[in-house]
Amino acid sequence: MACECERRDGLHVFEDLFLVEVVRHGAPVADGELGRILVTDLGNHAMPLIRYDIGDAGRLVRERCPCGRTSARLFVEGRVQDVIVTGDGGIVTNDQIMDFIYARGDVDEFQLTERTPGRFELLVVPAPGAVTSSRVDHDVLALLGPGATVKRFDVRSIEPESSGKFRFVRSATFDRFG
């Protein structure tokens, strides 16, 4: 329903084939704001799916792409069920947390689990040679909003879900995302 151009800055939506909307609590958000991605396939007459909720969070940007194309661009930022809503109403996505933690260079793998709203457990597989006293748990607090707490545990590996998939962020507050 969308693809990247040579600029690699978002996915150009095939707007003649799909209506893509980004909403929170059922209402469209402003251009560039994060919300739930809904898709209507304009060509599927056999089994129409209207405003199908694909379970991803993302943004839609309508300004012209540097490549010259004018179609809306979609930025997908992870699964809705991984979105953390902070105590002050802020939103943190799986992608933001991954970018933040992996930019440090001292973490090989991690899993951030919100046990109850604002109470997090952070499993960390330190990067080879990384100082184990790294303050990643302290630093990640800056993302998680006022009043949040993080307990960190250094581990040798991260276990997959029973489905076999790995999840890096598990949220207890995604239902507040709307």
Residue appearing with tokens 């998939």 = 165
Any residues with CB less than 8 A from the CB of 31 and at least 6 apart, and which?
Answer: 60, 61, 62, 63
* Binding-residue pattern over the window 68 to 87 for Zn ion, x denoting contact by CB under 5 A: -x------------------
Q: Residue 67, interface with Zn ion (CB under 5 A)?
A: yes
> Near Zn ion by CB under 5 A, which window of 3-11, 14-22, 93-101, 170-178?
3-11
Q: Given the complex with Zn ion, which of 12 and 36 has the nearer CB atom?
A: 12
- Minimum distance from residue 159 beta carbon to Zn ion (Å): 39
* Contact between 61 and Zn ion per CB under 5 A: no
User: Per rule CB under 5 A, is residue 5 in the interface with Zn ion?
Assistant: yes
Give Cα 86 to chain centroid, integer Å. Answer: 14
Write out the two tokens for 12: 């150009």
Position 98 contacts Zn ion (CB under 5 A): no
If we measure between CA atoms, which residue out of 139, 80, 78, 148 comes closest to residue 105? 139
In the set 1, 23, 29, 65, which binds Zn ion (CB under 5 A)? 65
> For residues 5 and 72, is the Cβ–Cβ distance under 8 A?
no
Q: Please give the Cα distance from 169 to 80 (Å, whole number).
A: 11
Query: Of 6 and 159, which has the nearer Cβ to Zn ion?
Result: 6
- Tell me how many residues contact Zn ion (CB under 5 A): 5
| Residue closer to Zn ion, measured from CB, 14 or 100 | 14
Contacts of 85 (CB under 8 A, 6+ apart): 91, 171, 173, 174, 176, 177
Query: CB of 61: closest distance to Zn ion in angstroms?
Result: 11
Q: How far is the CB of 12 from Zn ion (least distance, A)?
A: 6
Count Cα neighbours of 45 within 13 Å in the Cβ-side half-sphere.
0
Residues found near Zn ion in the complex (CB under 5 A): 5, 7, 65, 67, 69
